Amino acid sequence: MGLLEIVLIAVGLAMDAFAVSITLGLSTKKLKPTIIIIPGIYFGFFQSFMPLVGYFAGIYFANKIENLDHWIAFALLGLIGGKMIKDSFSKENRKEIKDKNSFGFIKMLILAIATSIDALAIGITFAFFRVNIYTAVLITGAITFFAAMCGVILGNIFGTKFRSKAEFIGGTVLILIGIKIVIEHTLL
C-alpha cells in the first residue's frame, strides 16, 4: 500500500469527522480560535489513535470489531443526534449554554470515538498490508484535524443564517451518519 492509498484512506476516514464538525459549527453562536481547534484535536487524535490500536491488535480482534463497530457508532451518533433534535424543539432560550455544551469533554469524546471506530478496523487492514503505521497515523491525524476545523467554520457560516433549525439539522445529520455506517456494514 503506497502513500497515495494512505492519503485516500485518511481522507475517507476524515469525512465523518468533517460532517460532525459541520453540525458542531451549526450550533455555535460565535467562532473563536479555540472552538475551531477543539474538534480538530479530538477528531485528529482519535482518527490517529484508533488505527494504531487496530494495527497492534491485529488479526486477533478483527472478527469482533468487524461485527460490532457499526452498531456502536450508530448507537453513539443516534443518542447525540436524538438529543440535539429534542433540544431543537425546546422553547427555552439556551444559546449560551448550547455553545458551551457543544464542545464539552464528554460530548466531544463520544463524538470522536463514534466517528473513529472505523479507523480501528482500518488499522487492522494496515497490519495486513505491512503499512508504516506511524506515517499512516500521522497523515490520518493531520487530514482529520484540518477537515474538522474546516467543518466547524462551514457549519458556523450556515448556522448564522439558519440558527433556528441548525440544531435540528445537526442532529439529523448525526443520525444519518450512524445509519450510513450501519448500511455500509450490513448491506454492502
What tens-digit pLDDT sequence spans the chain (188 residues)?
Answer: 688 888 988 888 888 889 889 888 887 878 899 999 999 999 999 999 999 998 888 756 655 656 776 777 677 667 777 876 777 776 544 444 344 456 789 989 999 998 888 788 788 778 777 789 999 999 999 999 999 999 999 988 876 566 556 667 767 877 887 788 788 778 76
What does the buried/exposed string (b/e) look like for 109-144 if buried means 16 or more CB atoms within 10 Å of the residue's CB?
ebbbbbbbbbbbbbbbebbeeebebeebbebbbbbb
Q: Give pLDDT, residue 170.
A: 67
Indicate the pTM of the whole model.
0.72
Count of C-beta atoms within a 10 Å radius of residue 7: 14
